[in-house]
Amino acid sequence: MSREIQIANAAGFCFGVKKAIQKAETMDKAFIFGSLIHNPQEVARLASLNKKIVYDLKDVEDNKVVITAHGLDINVIGQMKEKGLEIVDTTCPLVTKIYNEGLKLQGQGLRIVIVGDPKHVEVKGIASRMKDPIVIYHEEDIVQVPEGSKVGVVCQSTLLLEKFDQFVDLLKARCAEVVPINTICKPTKDRQTAAAALSKQMDIMIVIGGRNSSNTHKLADTCMMNLPNATHHIETAQEMDPKWFEGKQKVGITAGASTPDYLIEEVIARIRTYDELIPA
């Protein structure tokens, strides 16, 4: 009997990543500063098309450099300009919106708190535009925020929805004034909401996306809340173990914002090959 396979209502490439890739594809060759997207398979495909990822400005062997959808530290952009490089900026408009929201709150005399992974290029980009910001990612980081202070809060675009509310509550218990602006982007919200809803109805969830993709990890975390023993985060179809599907009739699929459609299609095709072999 064929298994039921359902893809989450919102899954895979977001418009920001899609636009960035399309832009790089229009260039004969491109030096992309940092990972354009957090998906090793798509990065390898782009490399085969002469789009090279570099992590150091000295490796840019052209007069042009591409800034990724996640944005970039403003100081690094300054160095690019000093070197006379032409900048092809594919920063997602929803990341630029976070810069603007942060600056607006700062203009109101608030100290900026950014909820997000301090090592992520997007968070570094936001922090670099603020005056003396505080980045918090784990609960224990809250001690960095001075008690009684007045803060404006923004967050990484791909943060887990619950995490933002949880941090705002912690800040409210500590600070004299807290003005939060939830800057999780709509595509991320849609993907998280759809993954949560689908994982409630399915027997197993397959979450496809780079192991270096923060939004894919968050989708997996979301599914795990409903299917703690039947959520599997994979990068490619080859990683699936047919045993996972034993006794599972309803298969849900979701994918991070950096996951191209062809990887999703490969997963579906492989699950179909299990229908005859593995009892649902």
List interacting residues with ligand SF4 (CB under 6 A): 14-17, 69, 92, 94-95, 157-158, 185, 187-188, 215, 257
Tokens matching residue 191: 């993907």
Nearer to ligand SF4, 37 or 175 (CB): 37
Q: Which residue is nearest to ligand SF4 (CB)?
A: 16
Which residue(s) pair with 134 in the sheet? 113
Instruction: Tell me the three state secondary structure of residue 135.
Output: strand
φ/ψ of 186, rounded to 5, equals -60, -45
Residue 223 to residue 218: CA distance in whole angstroms: 9
Contact criterion met (CB below 8 Å) for 91 and 121: no
Closest distance of CB 246 from ligand SF4, Å:
35
Catalytic site residue 147? no
| CB-nearer residue toward ligand SF4: 89 or 203 | 89
Helices (H), 112-250: 121-128, 161-172, 186-201, 214-226
* Three-state SS sequence of 14-34: CHHHHHHHHHHHCCCCEEEEC
In the complex, least distance from residue 208 CB atom to ligand SF4, rounded to whole angstroms: 16
Nearer to ligand SF4, 80 or 123 (CB): 123
Nearer to ligand SF4, 199 or 214 (CB): 214
At its nearest, how many Å lie between ligand SF4 and the CB of residue 57? 23
Q: How far is the CB of 235 from ligand SF4 (least distance, A)?
A: 18
Question: Which residue is catalytic, options 42, 61, 101, 122?
Answer: 122
Burial class (CB in 10 A: 0-12, 13-18, 19+), 174: middle
Q: Which residues does the annotation mark as catalytic?
A: 122
